[in-house]
Structures are given as structure tokens and as C-alpha cells.
Structure 1
């Protein structure tokens, strides 16, 4: 999508621990590609579900929500009511939201997550954390990595859905 090298081939990003550079690279790459993909994407197609696939609006909101939730767990927190409410509404069509708003919301969430990453002490990456109501086991590093790989996974799904919608539009 870009003539520039992928983020992971541009070297270390200042301000982030070396062990967490792959997390930073993956999130910045997703952010760049999502911004390009969604530029001029019609808001009226945000909630379309071709072949029953998840909508572009869902993917944009879900990535934001996952980053927020993984940050909470990485900091040994529990989800609050607002986070549960957001989780419940991620897939619901909200015609008040535009493509620009969703992309901006995601950019803000990525920025907040990267701020957290910049403050992580690498010696804490193996610290135990509990995830969700079931208190499933993870680590700080596992949560940060999951946030990055989950973002990449949903970017891939978003890309396919957007291309299908643009092809059929």
C-alpha cells in the first residue's frame, strides 16, 4: 500500500524497550495501513456485512476495544462497566459514527496503548496477570503481544471486507 518500508524494517522506534519493538512495529504498521485503507471509505458502508462477514465498523471498534482491554489487564486491572458496555456494542451498527471518527478513535487508542508500552519495564514482561471474569493466566508480555497480533489479525479481516465492499459497490 505504501512505497515506504514496512515499520519493522525502519529500525528501532525511540522511546520503547527493545524487547517490545515487535509490538510497537505491528501496531504502527496496522495504524498506517488502516489509515490508507479507510481514506475516503464511505461511512454508509461501515456496517455492511458481505457474505455475513464482520463489518468494517466492527473491526475498527473491536481493535480499539481489544487494545483498551489488554492495557487494563497488563496493568493488573479489571474491566469496568464502560469497557463491558463497549464490548457489547462493538458489532452494533451505529449510524452516528463516520469512517473518520472510527479511524480517529482507533488512532487515539493505539497512541494510548503505545504510551503504556513505552512505560513497561522489560523485567515485568513475565509477571503473571489474570484475564477476564474467569481469571485466566497470562503475562504482561503475553497481553502486549496478543494486543499486537490481534490487531494485525483484524486488520487483515478489515482489508478483505473493505475490498469486497468496494468491488461490489
Structure 2
């Protein structure tokens, strides 16, 4: 993407996505774009390094995908599976067997799943009650879907800072 292409939120509506979910869909697509952009030519040996005792690039990519997956589960009124709990527990652990390519492919998959789910909804579905977590905290369909998008953008910002810090630290 060149600098003349606007961010997703300025590109117009996405086909088949309800109007009220357009901002969330745009944010997820922006997350995807920026994850790839910020890690382009990234030294994979630094994937699990934690500069200044902050989260690694690998963590951010795993966590974004995990949050999207968990929020989609809650949006569908389901409880998290043991596999999802295992994934959550593993998010912070460095794993040299997981490559940057695998992390980006997994993120792409989860964003695609979210957008496909969005396409199944109508604006009138979005205010339906949803419970979150073991404590079944109250939210709505739009609440959990917006959280997936907003939380993803928050971690993309942190990923950018981490990548920049690592490049500076290692003179890259």
C-alpha cells in the first residue's frame, strides 16, 4: 500500500457488513494491514524478545488473534473451549516453533472469520445480550464485536512500538 491509499475507514462501506459494524470491520482490516506492514522485513530472531520487559511481537500477534477468536465465541453465545483456554495460556509464552508467517496467517484467518460472522448479522441483532467469560459479565453482540476490533487496534499500536524499539536496540 502506498501513502495515497486511505485507511480502511475512509474507503467506504464494506459489502454485506451491517452499517453499525462497518467501524469494527474497518478496524480489523486496518489491524491486518498494519500487522503485515510493521513486521515486513522484521528479523524473526527477535519475535519473542521483550524489550524493556514489555510484551514481544509474537505475543501481540498471538493475542490479537486470540481476542478475536474469544470475542466471536461470546458473540455466538458459547463458552470458551479447553483449546481456547490453552491458547490463552500460551499467548505470553515464547515459542520458537511458531514463525512470523504462521502468526500472520493465523491472524488473517481470525479476521476473515470475524468478517464472515459480521456478514451473517443484521443491525437489529447487535443489541442482543451477550455474557462474557466465566463470570458471565453483561455485554451485547455489538459490545463484544467492537471490543475485538478496538482491542486489536490497541495491540497493533503496541506492536509498532515494540518493533521500533527492537530495531533501534539492534541497529536494524
- TM-score, scaled relative to structure 1: 0.97
The reply on whether 1:157 has 2:166 as its aligned counterpart is no
Deviates more, 1:37-46 or 1:49-58: 37-46
CA deviation profile, 1:72-125 (whole Å, cap 9, x unmatched): 000100000000000000010000111111111111111111111111121111
Q: Which residue of 2 aligns with 1:37?
A: 38
Distance 2:118 2:49 in 1: 34
TM-superposed deviation, 1:162? 0.5
Distance 1:5 1:13 in 2: 14
CA 25–156 in structure 1, closer or farther in 2 if over 3 Å, else same: same
Q: Any stretches of 5+ residues in structure 1 without a counterpart? A: none
Distance 1:23 1:75 in 2: 17
Q: Which residue of 1 aligns with 2:126?
A: 125
The reply on whether 1:94 has 2:95 as its aligned counterpart is yes
TM-superposed deviation, 1:152? 0.3
Q: Any stretches of 5+ residues in structure 2 without a counterpart? A: none
CA deviation profile, 1:17-47 (whole Å, cap 9, x unmatched): 1111001110111111111111121221111
- The alignment partner of 1:65 has SS state of helix
Which runs of structure 1 show a deviation greater than 6 angstroms over 4 or more consecutive aligned residues? none
Name the Cα RMSD after superposition: 1.0
Deviates more, 1:71-80 or 1:11-20: 11-20
Q: Which residue of 1 aligns with 2:64?
A: 63
CA 89–103 in structure 1, closer or farther in 2 if over 3 Å, else same: same
Distance 2:19 2:139 in 1: 21
TM-superposed deviation, 1:165? 0.3
TM-superposed deviation, 1:50? 0.5
Q: Which residue of 2 aligns with 1:14?
A: 15
TM-superposed deviation, 1:2? 4.0
- Aligned residues between the structures: 169
Distance 1:115 1:33 in 2: 20
Distance 2:77 2:2 in 1: 37
